[in-house]
C-alpha cells in the first residue's frame, strides 16, 4: 500500500503532536529503522512511528486504523519471522523507548518496550539483581517476554513471562491500561506468553531476584565425540539442581575456521563451591578441546553467545520440543549435522527443568512445562546465494528428526511459514486466549504476530 493512502491532514495532525519521530520512505533514517535482526526481512512500511511513550503509541495506532493500514510493532526487532515490519503498514517502533527504573527495595524493575536484555541486565546488576532474559543480550525484552521467554535463569526463577507482574498496555482503541493480576486478571494471564496479540506494551514490570556473580562458559569436544558426549549430557543433567542449566549441541568453532565441535554451555547460580561441585563432571568428562568455565557477572554470561548472532545475518529457524533425548535422536542429530551447509549454524538442545517446570501448563499462556528439551535449528548464513540450500537443509533436518518431536512448539522461535504451528505453541491455552483476544482486540488490529484469531 502506498503512502498516499495516509490522509495528509491526519499525517499533519500526527506529526504536530508526536513526541517521537515520524519517518516516511524518503526520510533520513527510514532505511535503518525498517531493518530488523534477520537480514532476510526487507520490507517497506508506509510510515514508521518512532515512539517515545504510550501517547505516541496510541496516536500511531489511531492513524493506522483511520487509514486502513496494518499495524506492526517493533520491540527489539529480533523476531526471525520479521513480524515487526510490514510492507505498506504503520510500524510502531519502540526502539527509542529505553527508560529503565529499578526499585531495589521492592525488587522490581519497570522497563520500556524498546529496551533490550543487555540494557536491562546492566541496570538490574547495578543493584545486585536479575531476572530471566534471553540467551543473547541483543534480544528485545518486550517480544521475548510476551512470547514466554526462556533463558539461563529459567530453572532457578522460571521464564521471563513468569516474572512479569505488570504491563502498561496500549490497546487497539488507543486506551492505556495498567494491567496486573488485580486489575485485569485474564489479560495479565494472556500477556504471560500470548505474544503481541492484545496491545502494545509501552512498559513492562518484572520481579527481580538477588544475583550477581554466576559461573558459566563453554566446554567443547571433537565432533567425533558428539554421540557419546550427548549421551553423557543427557544423563548428567538428570536430577540437577535449579542452580544448574546446561544447553548442549553441535556447533562450529567460534574462530571462524569452520571446524565442527560438540559443545556444552554451562551455567550455575550457586556459590563458587557449589558450582565447582556440580560442574566438575562436565569439565572432566572425555577429552575436551576447550574448557573455558569460570565466575563472571550475570550480564557477561548473557553476552557469551552474542558474536554468533550478528545483526543482518540471514536467518531461518525451526524448533520443537522433543520426546526425551533418545540414543536414536542423538545419532540422527549427528548424522544431519554432517551435511550442515553453513559454518554459522548449530543444532541446539535447551534443557527445561526446575522452576520453569513447576508451573502448571494453564497457569500462564505458556503450556510447555515438562522437564525435557527444546531442539532448535537456528540456521544462519550471510550470502544470499546460499539461502535456498540453508532453508532446504533446515526443513530436511527438521523432517528427519520429527519422529522424536513431542508436538509442542516454542512460540518465540516460530517463523513466518508456520501458522499451522501456532496451536502447538499455545496448546491447551488457545481457546482461553481467543476469549481474551475477542475482548481486547475484536478487530484483530494486532495480527502481525503469531496470531490468535478472535
Ligand X SMILES: Cc1cc2nc3c(=O)[nH]c(=O)nc-3n(C[C@H](O)[C@H](O)[C@H](O)COP(=O)(O)OP(=O)(O)OC[C@H]3O[C@@H](n4cnc5c(N)ncnc54)[C@H](O)[C@@H]3O)c2cc1C
Q: Which residues within the stretch 303-332 sit at the binding site for ligand X (CB under 6 A)?
A: 309
Q: Burial-class residue 254 by CB neighbours within 10 Å (0-12, 13-18, 19+).
A: middle
- The answer to whether residue 200 forms part of the interface with ligand X (CB under 6 A) is yes
- The answer to whether residue 158 forms part of the interface with ligand X (CB under 6 A) is no
Nearest to 291 by CA among 225, 232, 215, 219: 219
Query: Please, are residues 102 and 45 in contact by the beta-carbon 8 Å criterion?
Result: no
Among 134, 216, 299, 367, binds ligand X (CB under 6 A): 134
Take residue 433 and report the three cell numbers written for it: 486466549
Judged by CB under 6 A, the stretch of 19-27, 174-182, 195-203, 259-267 that binds ligand X is 195-203
Buried b (16+ CB within 10 A) or exposed e, 60-84: bbbbbbebebbbbbbbbbbbbbbbb
Judged by CB under 6 A, the stretch of 62-70, 145-153, 293-301, 417-425 that binds ligand X is 145-153
Q: Which residues within the stretch 363-392 sit at the binding site for ligand X (CB under 6 A)?
A: none
Judged by CB under 6 A, the stretch of 124-132, 137-145, 397-405, 436-444 that binds ligand X is 137-145
Among 20, 39, 89, 151, binds ligand X (CB under 6 A): 151
Take residue 246 and report the three cell numbers written for it: 546446561
Q: CB nearer to ligand X: give 342 or 412.
A: 412
Inter-helix orientation angle 272-284/226-237, to 10°: 150
Query: Please, are residues 205 and 182 in contact by the beta-carbon 8 Å criterion?
Result: no
Nearest to 55 by CA among 136, 153, 157, 170: 170
Whole-number Å distance between alpha carbons of 121 and 284: 31
CB of residue 369 to ligand X, shortest distance in Å: 15
The HSE-up count of residue 451 (CA atoms within 13 Å, CB side) is: 18
Q: Look at the block and give the residue holding cell 546465494.
A: 385
Whole-number Å distance between alpha carbons of 214 and 156: 12
- The answer to whether residue 449 forms part of the interface with ligand X (CB under 6 A) is yes
Q: Burial-class residue 32 by CB neighbours within 10 Å (0-12, 13-18, 19+).
A: exposed
The contact mask relative to ligand X for 204-243 (x = CB under 6 A, - = no) is: ----------------------------------------
Our CA angle for 364, 207, 359, nearest 5°, is 30
CB of residue 48 to ligand X, shortest distance in Å: 13
Judged by CB under 6 A, the stretch of 61-69, 196-204, 280-288, 427-435 that binds ligand X is 196-204
Judged by CB under 6 A, the stretch of 146-154, 174-182, 224-232, 351-359 that binds ligand X is 146-154
Among 136, 226, 304, 433, binds ligand X (CB under 6 A): 136
Size of the site for ligand X (CB under 6 A): 37
Helix or strand or coil: residue 275? Answer: helix
Nearest to 377 by CA among 366, 364, 393: 393
Among 34, 50, 83, 157, binds ligand X (CB under 6 A): 83
Judged by CB under 6 A, the stretch of 10-18, 45-53, 132-140, 231-239 that binds ligand X is 132-140
Other C-beta atoms lying within 10 Å of the C-beta of residue 431: 9
CB of residue 225 to ligand X, shortest distance in Å: 26
- The answer to whether residue 94 forms part of the interface with ligand X (CB under 6 A) is yes
- The answer to whether residue 342 forms part of the interface with ligand X (CB under 6 A) is no
- The answer to whether residue 144 forms part of the interface with ligand X (CB under 6 A) is yes
Judged by CB under 6 A, the stretch of 99-107, 120-128, 133-141, 320-328 that binds ligand X is 133-141
CB of residue 398 to ligand X, shortest distance in Å: 17
Q: Which residues bind ligand X (CB under 6 A)?
A: 36-37, 73-80, 83-84, 94, 113, 134-136, 139-140, 142-144, 146-151, 195-196, 200-201, 309, 412-413, 448-449
Amino acid at each position: 500500500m502506498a503512502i498516499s493512502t495516509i490522509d495528509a491532514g491526519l499525517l499533519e495532525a500526527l506529526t504536530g503532536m508526536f513526541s517521537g519521530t515520524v519517518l516516511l520512505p524518503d526520510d533520513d533514517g527510514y532505511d535503518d529503522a525498517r531493518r530488523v535482526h534477520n537480514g532476510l526481512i526487507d520490507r517497506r512500511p508506509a510510515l514508521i512511528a518512532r515512539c517515545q511513550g504510550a501517547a505516541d503509541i496510541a496516536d500511531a495506532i489511531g492513524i493506522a486504523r483511520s487509514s486502513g493500514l496494518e499495524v506492526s510493532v517493533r520491540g527489539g526487532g529480533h523476531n526471525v519471522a520479521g513480524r515487526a515490519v510490514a510492507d505498506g503498514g504503520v510500524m510502531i517502533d519502540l526502539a527509542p523507548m529505553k527508560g529503565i527504573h529499578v526499585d531495589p527495595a521492592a525488587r522490581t524493575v519497570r522497563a520500556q518496550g524498546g529496551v533490550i536484555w543487555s540494557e536491562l541486565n546492566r541496570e538490574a546488576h547495578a543493584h545486585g539483581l536479575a531476572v530471566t532474559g534471553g540467551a543473547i543480550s541483543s534480544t528485545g525484552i518486550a517480544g521475548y517476554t510476551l512470547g514466554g521467554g526462556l533463558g539461563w535463569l529459567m530453572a532457578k526463577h522460571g521464564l521471563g513471562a513468569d516474572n512479569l507482574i505488570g504491563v502498561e498496555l496500549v490497546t487497539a482503541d488507543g486506551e492505556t491500561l495498567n494491567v496486573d493480576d488485580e486489575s485485569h486478571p485474564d489479560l495479565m494471564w494472556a500477556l504471560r506468553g500470548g505474544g503481541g496479540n492484545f496491545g502494545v506494551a509501552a512498559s513492562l514490570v518484572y520481579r527481580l531476584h538477588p544475583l550477581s556473580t554466576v559461573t558459566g562458559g563453554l566446554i567443547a569436544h571433537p565432533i567425533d565425540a558428539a554421540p557419546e558426549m550427548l549421551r553423557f549430557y543427557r544423563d548428567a543433567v538428570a536430577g540437577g539442581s535449579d542452580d544448574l542449566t546446561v544447553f548442549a549441541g553441535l556447533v562450529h568453532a567460534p574462530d571462524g575456521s569452520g571446524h565442527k565441535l560438540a559443545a556444552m554451555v554451562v551455567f550455575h547460580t550457586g556459590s563458587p563451591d557449589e558450582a565447582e561441585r556440580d560442574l566438575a563432571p562436565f569439565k572432566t568428562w572425555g577429552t575436551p578441546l576447550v574448557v573455558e568455565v569460570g565466575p563472571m557477572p550475570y550480564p557477561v554470561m548473557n553476552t557469551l553467545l552474542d558474536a554468533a548472532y550478528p545483526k543482518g545475518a540471514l536467518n531461518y529457524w525451526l524448533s520443537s520440543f522433543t520426546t526425551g533425548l533418545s540414543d536414536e535422536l542423538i545419532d540422527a542429530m549427528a548424522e544431519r549435522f554432517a551435511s550442515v551447509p553453513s559454518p554459522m549454524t548449530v543444532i541446539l538442545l535447551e534443557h527445561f527443568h526446575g522452576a520453569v517446570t513447576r508451573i502448571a501448563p494453564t497457569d500462564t499462556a505458556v503450556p510447555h512445562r515438562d522437564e525435557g528439551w527444546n531442539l532448535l535449528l537456528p540456521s544462519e548464513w550471510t550470502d544470499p546465494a546460499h539461502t535456498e540450500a540453508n532453508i532446504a537443509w533446515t526443513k530436511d533436518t527438521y523432517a528427519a528428526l520429527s519422529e522424536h518431536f513431542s508436538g509442542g512448539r516454542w512460540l518465540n522461535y516460530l517463523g513466518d511459514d508456520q501458522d499451522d504451528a501456532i496451536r502447538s505453541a499455545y496448546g491447551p491455552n488457545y481457546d482461553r486466549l481467543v476469549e481474551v483476544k475477542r475482548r481486547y482486540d475484536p478487530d484483530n488490529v494486532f495480527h502481525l504476530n503469531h496470531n490468535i484469531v478472535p
